[in-house]
């Protein structure tokens, strides 16, 4: 067996984690010969329910699942871990504004950022819990773990964008590449069709319907979460979990030549994004958990306007939590 | 890409399917290069919710997921399929006796058995929906598909048995082999510790605690479903889905030499079980979807008593549905 990996998942009794944990434990993501030690983190009020999830994980008899531990505090949960999935966050209550949502989540991610100091030297942390970019910004700023080990999920948006482009073009989704979600994982994200490709050709040329791309494709991707809730009567869970696995997989697998993937990472000033902001960029990886922003992609003035709107939203979110940074 | 596989899942908007569909679509079970065509079957009342599940499957951008179709009738859903997962069944209502549950499910599986006549020539059908053995018996008896293509799931019980033995012995679950669940997927199943092995040695010798094996191990496995419901506030879903994947995987992968797996299949009189009854046996497969009962396993008188109790329960269930066979 390969060297074990210690994986923490917060919000472990929630719906996204229920779709995520079993796929992590099965060996699908870190390898069929790599023992997984699961550290499941939850709030004290739902530890009973978490025990039920642990029972089911045990009942799967996964050969790769070496250990299951449950915690009601981040300090213990993050001790010695190699990978964190920060899935848990306070959901938006009735009538709650986005700024309020950001404020109530802030302290959780301050604590989790500090707790990550107890992780293994090679720890990497990805954030799913919304508002993901700003939660990740807070954790990163409260941790001694290097900034480039933090990322927030844009992959669900990227996958949605790819599947919408594929459906419109009438091609298999695997034919769509080079999809970027710029900026914030919110309704103000910018799903970039100008640089996306279908079967190696510019997506906009293949689809050849600028009105559809601007007025249907973009809002469909931006508002897909609400559409799923309306149809399913519950928010996206299995697709969010699948995107979280894709996100980590893209960081531990060499990126295919000529392609890239989207994640929110700490800006070093690329594309004139404020250094230090967590922003959705196109990335490549050598497969060692590292990443590099793909630079020099062209953008029309129209696209740059969409990009700036998302950037400004992230600046506003940072302002709301500035006392925590 | 390999030749596509057409997979039907009934009860597709339910909780077990929500954990099953994404793992089928991801290529985990039928291969990373094999396109999957999903036929999702539900009752007309929940087609909206099913649409939400389809949206999430689309949103995963699985390269292996070639097509998603939704159906509210089995005849269309099973047209041309190679594999059926019959997950859906009417749940037990308040105060409903097991005989009543069997009766209300009967007509569903009569219809599904007939609908399987429209499947591909190589179709195989596995049943998860409870009472699984008898539902499968009904489908088999109402179909022209050969009897040996039908099976019902005992694998969740087998996985539970393995994990309980591993925990007691303090060994990784992969060290436990040769676990059999004889008979019915019900509280009267018989989880066989006499023939199970731990690290190649008899489990009973390694554990060396006959009282625990008889009085704790067996009821723990038999009543695990209720214990999960109590802890989690919902019935086993992800672990049931995982077991369904293990079940199919064991039929399409050569069984490791000296080991076996458990599934309920049509008796040919092995171990003096009535020919034609769906009964949980130890099986081996050459990996082509075929199976053979492992014969000649010894059983103490005590064990044979447990075995007979489960056999008698299945005979009683068959009596309840005899008009449908």
Domain ranges of chain A: 5-152, 155-324
Q: Which residues pair with A40 in a beta bridge?
A: A9, A70
Which residues does A91 contact at the CB level (< 8 Å), separation at least 6? none
Smallest Cα distance from B228 to chain A, Å: 5
Composition of chain A by helix, strand, coil, percent to 5? 45, 20, 35
Cis peptide before A131 (omega within 30 of 0): yes
A300: its two tokens: 């029309």
Contact across the interface for B19 and A23, Cβ inside 8 Å: no
Using CA atoms, how far apart are residues A118 and A115, in angstroms rounded to an integer? 6
Give which of B35, B36, B60, B156 to mutate to test A binding, by max A Cβ within 10 Å.
B60
Contact across the interface for A232 and B52, Cβ inside 8 Å: yes
pTM of the model: 0.97
- Please name the CATH architecture into which domain A5-152 falls: 3-Layer(aba) Sandwich (3.40)
Angle between helices A238-251 and A15-25 (to 10 degrees): 50
Using CA atoms, how far apart are residues B310 and B316, in angstroms rounded to an integer? 10
Task: Decide if A203 contacts A255 (C-beta within 8 A).
Answer: no
The distance from CA A16 to its chain's CA centroid, rounded to whole angstroms, is 12
B239: which chain A residues are within 8 Å (Cβ-Cβ)? 22, 56-57, 59-60
Using CA atoms, how far apart are residues A115 and A144, in angstroms rounded to an integer? 10
State the Cα angle at B6 between B2 and B8, rounded to 5°.
150
A1: which chain B residues are within 8 Å (Cβ-Cβ)? none
**Ordered per-residue pLDDT tens for chain A, 325 residues:** 689 999 999 999 999 999 999 999 999 999 999 999 999 999 999 999 999 999 999 999 999 999 999 999 999 999 999 999 999 998 887 888 888 999 999 999 999 999 999 999 999 999 999 999 999 999 999 999 999 999 999 999 999 999 999 999 999 999 999 999 999 999 999 999 999 999 999 999 999 999 999 999 999 999 999 999 999 999 999 999 999 999 999 999 999 999 999 999 999 999 999 999 999 999 999 999 999 999 999 999 999 999 999 999 999 999 999 999 9
Classify A155-324 by CATH class.
Answer: alpha beta
| Of A101, A133, A129, the residue nearest A315 (C-alpha) | A133
Count Cβ atoms within 10 A of the Cβ of residue B208 and give its class: 0-12 exposed, 13-18 middle, 19 or more buried: exposed
For residue A71, the 8-state DSSP code is: E
**Kind plus residue range of the DSSP H or E element containing A86:** strand A83-86
Q: Give the other-Cβ count within 10 Å of B88's Cβ.
A: 25
Residues of B tagged active-site: 185
């Amino acid at each position: 067996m390969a060297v074990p990996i210690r994986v923490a998942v917060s919000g472990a009794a929630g719906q996204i984690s229920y779709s995520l944990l079993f796929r992590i434990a099965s060996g699908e993501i870190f390898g069929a010969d790599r023992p997984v030690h699961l550290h499941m983190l939850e709030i004290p009020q739902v530890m009973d329910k978490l025990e039920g999830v642990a029972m089911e994980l045990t009942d799967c008899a996964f050969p790769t699942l070496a250990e299951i531990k449950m915690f009601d505090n981040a300090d213990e949960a993050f001790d010695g871990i190699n990978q964190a999935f920060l899935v848990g966050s306070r959901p938006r209550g009735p009538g709650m504004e986005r700024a309020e949502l950001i404020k109530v989540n802030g302290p959780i991610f301050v604590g989790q950022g500090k707790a990550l100091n107890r992780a293994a030297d090679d720890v990497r942390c990805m954030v799913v819990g919304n508002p993901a970019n700003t939660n990740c910004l807070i954790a990163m700023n409260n941790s001694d773990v290097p900034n480039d080990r933090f990322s927030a999920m844009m992959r669900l948006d990227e996958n949605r964008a790819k599947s919408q482009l594929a459906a419109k073009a009438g091609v298999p989704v695997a034919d769509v590449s080079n999809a970027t979600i710029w900026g914030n994982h919110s309704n103000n994200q910018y799903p970039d069709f100008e640089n996306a490709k279908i079967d190696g050709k510019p997506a906009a040329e293949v689809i050849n319907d600028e009105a559809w791309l601007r007025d249907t494709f973009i809002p469909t991707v931006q508002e897909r979460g609400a559409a799923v809730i309306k149809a399913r009567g519950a928010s996206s869970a299995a697709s969010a979990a699948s995107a979280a696995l894709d996100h980590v997989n893209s960081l531990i697998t060499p990126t295919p030549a000529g392609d890239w993937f989207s994640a929110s990472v700490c800006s070093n000033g690329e594309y004139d994004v404020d250094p230090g902001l967590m922003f959705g960029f196109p990335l490549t990886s050598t497969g060692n958990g590292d990443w590099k922003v793909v630079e020099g992609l062209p953008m029309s003035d129209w696209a740059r306007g969409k990009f700036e709107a998302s950037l400004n939203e992230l600046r506003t979110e940072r302002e709301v939590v500035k006392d925590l940074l």
